[in-house]
């Protein structure tokens, strides 16, 4: 009888141990997978639509990559009389060949990972400014200034 009790309690503790271990492993795996599949959409910051009526377009290098911007109104010119003009930014593009960049997660040491912009055309990578880019309005503001200067130089309002 005593032997049976010992056998059962041993079996139970082994099962509990295995269960805990398995749980820990699966937690570790899912957090790893989460980090790997995490996406940072470079276009997310621009909630606006690309303008149909474009007055001025410009390019800008910011964070060492190329951004394109358009200043204009959302709708085609025949409907846009009362629309407000705005700056629209899209990108980033590879400064080397203007190919659209994508974001990739790369492992750094063992547990840390970081994001880079990758160009599939030339395989160049550019560091992704996780700490600085925020929602991207910093790029949008820089583009807005660039377009404003360009429009002033061109004599448009």
Interface with Zn ion (CB under 5 A): 94, 96-97, 99, 119, 121-122
In a 13 Å sphere around the CA of 15, the CA atoms on its Cβ side amount to 6
Closer of 63 and 86 to Zn ion (Cβ): 63
d(CA 139, CA 65): 11
Closest distance to Zn ion from the beta carbon of 94 (Å): 3
Q: Is 18 helix (H, G, I), strand (E, B) or coil?
A: helix
Closer of 71 and 93 to Zn ion (Cβ): 93
Closer of 75 and 115 to Zn ion (Cβ): 115
C-alpha dihedral, 117 to 119 to 123 to 125, nearest 10°: -20
CB 103 within 8 A of CB 116: yes
Closer of 90 and 150 to Zn ion (Cβ): 90
Closest distance to Zn ion from the beta carbon of 99 (Å): 5
Residue with tokens 């846009």: 80
How many helices (H) and strands (E) are present in the chain, helices listed first?
3, 6
């Amino acid at each position: 009888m005593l032997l049976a009790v010992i056998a059962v309690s041993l079996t139970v503790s082994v099962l509990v141990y295995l269960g805990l271990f398995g749980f820990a492993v699966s937690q570790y795996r899912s957090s790893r997978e989460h980090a790997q599949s995490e996406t940072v959409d470079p276009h997310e910051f621009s909630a606006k639509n690309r303008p149909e009526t474009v007055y001025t377009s410009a390019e800008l290098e910011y964070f060492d990559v190329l951004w394109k911007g358009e200043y204009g109104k959302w709708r085609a010119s025949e409907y846009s009389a009362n629309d407000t003009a705005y700056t629209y930014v899209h990108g980033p593009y590879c400064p080397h060949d203007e190919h659209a960049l994508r974001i990739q997660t790369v492992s750094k040491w063992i547990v840390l990972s970081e994001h880079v912009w990758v160009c599939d055309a030339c395989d160049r990578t550019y560091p992704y400014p996780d700490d600085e880019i925020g929602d991207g309005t910093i790029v949008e503001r820089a583009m807005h200034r660039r377009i404003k200067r360009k429009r002033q130089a061109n004599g448009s309002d």
